[in-house]
A and B are shown apart, each in its own frame.
Chain A
């Protein structure tokens, strides 16, 4: 421990230089930790958007459902979807199973017809587990429109909720009557009159221009689905168990369907995550390099100022490796102090920024911004701490080797 104590005194020797070095370490810690917290917020938001936007934690699909376009509606579907959903609901790990019918076709107001992507959902269960109500826009704001509401739960109703872009292109508002046209599962053309009961904003312009939502009954009537369902979205009681539960649920569901975790299906999430990891990874690399060079410079300067002192210590019997250790201790102390102060300042800064409720601009391709809420992710802080500590230890290596290689007689003559 004498080396650690000596290192502490040495670190305190040139306080101005030490403070400057600590500022570099603190800045590095804060930048990386805050960036990590921001990334966590983004990933969390995107994952929740994907899960609560319809995918669920695990989704059951026909094995060929992801391989190509369907020639006709429900070509690659789960033939006994409702029965399978009922069976799965009895599993203790599953919170809910939401059957869906995916279909496409044309929606018409008479003079104008527009292509759409439709979802048939359970009007009772869906709002309990998915964020469908959050996406409802106030339709009364549209000219002549009434307020948006969710789909009616009565089986005879023919309600539809339109994406805001789709409604706009049709000049439709809440209360408008429209006609849905689609092919049924045998390839025949079918049509159904529906009433607009709400407008929805999915957050992505491309989706808003194309999507509509109807009840499972309406969708089943349009495409003549019967008990067949396109997919089953499963919500788990313990979302963090998704990867572990996947094989068990696959076995439970049988070979006629294939189970996918949400993160394999959420392509937007995957792309954004990769992009962020690349951006922040590069930024982290640059920051680590800055810290490395700054601390290596500090320690090297301190070695050059202490050549005779090192010669004296070596003459007194200090081994060469102990000099390297001394420099390692100095690097370690700089890292510990810098990271410690960086942690405190990061937490304070994070609280202050979050308290400001800053609104971030809309990300590319999305239609609305979001509130900045930098997450506290202990693992990120730990990784940044370890990364910085390793950087500082690495930066102390060269000065340490230089000190250890000094010839004692020359070091003692050094002025």
Chain B
């Protein structure tokens, strides 16, 4: 489903070279994979390359067999809109929109009619246990609830891959664990692949695949419960 071939993306950070160097990996469909490693190991860099937010210096990203990393900007936008979902560490919900409207937003950007978008967004929020918080704005929700809205927003457009950057980093342990359980459940239920960047053991322990990174290089791949 997702394949990275010899990806390199280098940049200067504090006078030293950082980024990702010659990384090759593969994530099958319906799999929850984790990019694990300490800060500066290249997790976020790889996530941005897979999310088509940045271009690799070398190598190629294949999404469902299609080379996507050097597509024109418009095509990359379309891919992000229709086939990728994003979950950010700081939730990044639009503060002026309600939970429901936040989830509806990517659907409306796809051109889906308001009524249909509302229905799908309501279902998505119901799946993450927030059917009673539809009209709440992000400021009226807890961190865990906001991240659930972010997951619903990522899943509502029915992407093939959801990218999550440190999704539990802004949450305490009591909320982080259940959130990961929710992601695992969504992964199982909907067949969507998740690629999560994290150094949180509770996240890594729930993964099907773990890619260990160190100084921008893939040092180990651990397959725990691959089903695909």
- Judge if A266 is at the interface, Cβ distance under 8 Å: no
**Which residues on the B side are within 8 Å of A317 (C-beta)?**
77-82, 106, 109-110
Does B73 lie within 8 Å of A13, measured CB to CB?
no
Partner of A319, one of B77, B79, B106: B77
Does A316 lie within 8 Å of B96, measured CB to CB?
no
- Judge if B97 is at the interface, Cβ distance under 8 Å: yes
Q: How far is the CB of B19 from chain A (nearest CB, A)?
A: 12
Q: A312-B94, A317-B78 are in contact. Are A409 and B53 (CB under 8 A)?
A: yes
Q: How far is the CB of A310 from chain B (nearest CB, A)?
A: 10
> What does DSSP make chain A's interface, helix, strand, loop or mixed?
helix
Query: Which chain A residues numbered 291 to 336 have a C-beta less than 8 Å away from chain B?
Result: 308-309, 311-320, 322
**Which residues on the A side are within 8 Å of B51 (C-beta)?**
315
Write out, one digit per residue, whether chain B residues 74-118 have a CB within 8 A of any chain A CB (1) or not (0).
100111111000101010101111000000011011100000000
Q: A316-B81, A316-B109 are in contact. Are A408 and B96 (CB under 8 A)?
A: no
- Judge if A379 is at the interface, Cβ distance under 8 Å: no
Partner of A309, one of B74, B94, B110, B153: B94
Interface size class of A (residues with CB under 8 A): 20 to 34
Query: Bound complex: CA of A312 vs CA of B81, how far in Å?
Result: 12
Q: A312-B88, A315-B80, A409-B48 are in contact. Are A2 and B96 (CB under 8 A)?
A: no
**Which residues on the B side are within 8 Å of A13 (C-beta)?**
95-96
**Which residues on the A side are within 8 Å of B48 (C-beta)?**
409
**Which residues on the A side are within 8 Å of B81 (C-beta)?**
316-318
Q: How far is the CB of A330 from chain B (nearest CB, A)?
A: 12
Does B77 lie within 8 Å of A309, measured CB to CB?
no
Query: Which chain A residues numbered 53 to 109 have a C-beta less than 8 Å away from chain B?
Result: none
Partner of B80, one of A10, A311, A316, A320: A316
Query: Bound complex: CA of A316 vs CA of B96, how far in Å?
Result: 17
Q: How far is the CB of B40 from chain A (nearest CB, A)?
A: 14
Query: Bound complex: CA of A13 vs CA of B51, how far in Å?
Result: 30
**Which residues on the A side are within 8 Å of B97 (C-beta)?**
6, 9
Q: A309-B92, A309-B94, A312-B92 are in contact. Are A318 and B53 (CB under 8 A)?
A: no
Does A10 lie within 8 Å of B96, measured CB to CB?
yes
- Judge if A12 is at the interface, Cβ distance under 8 Å: yes
Does B92 lie within 8 Å of A308, measured CB to CB?
yes
Does A316 lie within 8 Å of B105, measured CB to CB?
yes
Partner of A408, one of B53, B95, B153: B53
**Which residues on the A side are within 8 Å of B78 (C-beta)?**
317
- Judge if A146 is at the interface, Cβ distance under 8 Å: no
Query: Bound complex: CA of A318 vs CA of B111, how far in Å?
Result: 12
- Judge if A142 is at the interface, Cβ distance under 8 Å: no
Interface size class of B (residues with CB under 8 A): 20 to 34
- Judge if B66 is at the interface, Cβ distance under 8 Å: no
Query: Bound complex: CA of A12 vs CA of B90, how far in Å?
Result: 23
- Judge if B54 is at the interface, Cβ distance under 8 Å: yes
Identity of the chain B residue whose Cβ is nearest the Cβ of A12 in the assembled complex: B96
Identity of the chain B residue whose Cβ is nearest the Cβ of A11 in the assembled complex: B96
Identity of the chain B residue whose Cβ is nearest the Cβ of A312 in the assembled complex: B92
Query: Which chain A residues numbered 1 to 31 have a C-beta less than 8 Å away from chain B?
Result: 2, 6, 9-10, 12-13
Does A318 lie within 8 Å of B88, measured CB to CB?
no
Query: Which chain A residues numbered 150 to 186 have a C-beta less than 8 Å away from chain B?
Result: none
- Judge if A207 is at the interface, Cβ distance under 8 Å: no
Query: Which chain B residues numbered 146 to 183 have a C-beta less than 8 Å away from chain A?
Result: 153
- Judge if A412 is at the interface, Cβ distance under 8 Å: yes
**Which residues on the B side are within 8 Å of A320 (C-beta)?**
73
Query: Bound complex: CA of A319 vs CA of B79, how far in Å?
Result: 11
Besides the contacts A317-B78, A317-B81, what 18 more A-B pairs have beta carbons closer than 8 Å?
A2-B109, A6-B97, A6-B105, A308-B92, A309-B95, A311-B92, A314-B77, A315-B53, A316-B80, A316-B81, A317-B79, A317-B82, A317-B110, A319-B74, A320-B73, A409-B54, A412-B88, A412-B92
20 A-B residue pairs with Cβ-Cβ distance under 8 Å, sorted by A, are A2-B108, A6-B105, A10-B96, A309-B95, A312-B86, A312-B94, A315-B51, A315-B53, A315-B80, A316-B80, A316-B105, A316-B109, A317-B81, A317-B82, A317-B106, A318-B77, A318-B81, A318-B109, A408-B53, A409-B53
Which A-B residue pairs are the 3 nearest by beta carbons?
A: A317-B81, A9-B96, A2-B108
